[in-house]
């Protein structure tokens, strides 16, 4: 994949719902390859903690490999936190990480996930 593809992924996913705060493509070393952020929002993480979050995603991806043979590869992970919800999707060696407003109800989260899956599979 090329950089233009990473931005296409971000733009396509960000267009799914107005509740998306941030969509980023994270490289295997935790580097941010492309992103789209909802413009009127103040980020919940500062620059340093954002980098820690992306490094954490990359490390977690490496640890998940140990279970792939037994459980199958990770397709997505959905986290509910006190202030935000996140979803991450696997595309080969990279991750697409999405943060979504906390107030979004579960049925909308499921719609978002179902809408993201074809985009992610297109690039997998």
Q: pLDDT by residue (tens digit) across 56-114?
A: 777 676 667 778 788 888 889 899 999 999 999 988 888 999 999 999 999 999 999 99
pLDDT for res 62 = 66
Sorted by sequence, the CB contacts under 8 Å of residue 76 that are 6+ apart come out as 87, 88, 89, 90, 113, 116, 117, 120
17 near 108, Cβ under 8 Å?
yes
Show the domain range for 58: 3-123
More confident residue, 29 or 64: 29
Q: What is the CATH number of the domain that holds 9?
A: 3.30.450.30
Q: What pLDDT is attached to residue 37?
A: 92
Instruction: Give the per-residue pLDDT at 63.
Output: 67
Residue 20's closest CA among 49, 40, 3? 40
Helices 3-14 and 106-123, interaxial angle, to 10°? 160
Residue 72 corresponds to which tokens in the numbers above? 């199958």
> Model-level pTM?
0.85
CA distance 69 to 31: 26
CA torsion, ordered 65, 117, 23, 69, to nearest 10 deg: 0
Which of the four pLDDT bands, split at 50, 70 and 90, describes residue 22?
very high
**Number of domain units in the chain:** 1
């Amino acid at each position: 994949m090329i950089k233009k593809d990473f931005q296409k992924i971000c733009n396509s996913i960000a267009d799914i719902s107005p509740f998306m705060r941030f969509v980023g493509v994270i490289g295997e070393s935790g580097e941010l390859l492309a992103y789209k952020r909802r413009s009127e929002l103040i980020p919940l993480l500062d620059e340093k903690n954002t980098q820690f979050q992306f490094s954490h995603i990359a490390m977690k991806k490496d640890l998940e490999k140990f279970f792939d043979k037994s459980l199958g590869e990770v397709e997505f992970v959905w986290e509910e936190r006190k202030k935000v919800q996140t979803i991450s999707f696997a595309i080969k060696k990279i991750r697409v990480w999405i943060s979504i407003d906390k107030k979004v109800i579960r049925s909308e989260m499921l719609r978002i996930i179902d809408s993201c899956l074809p985009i992610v599979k297109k690039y997998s």
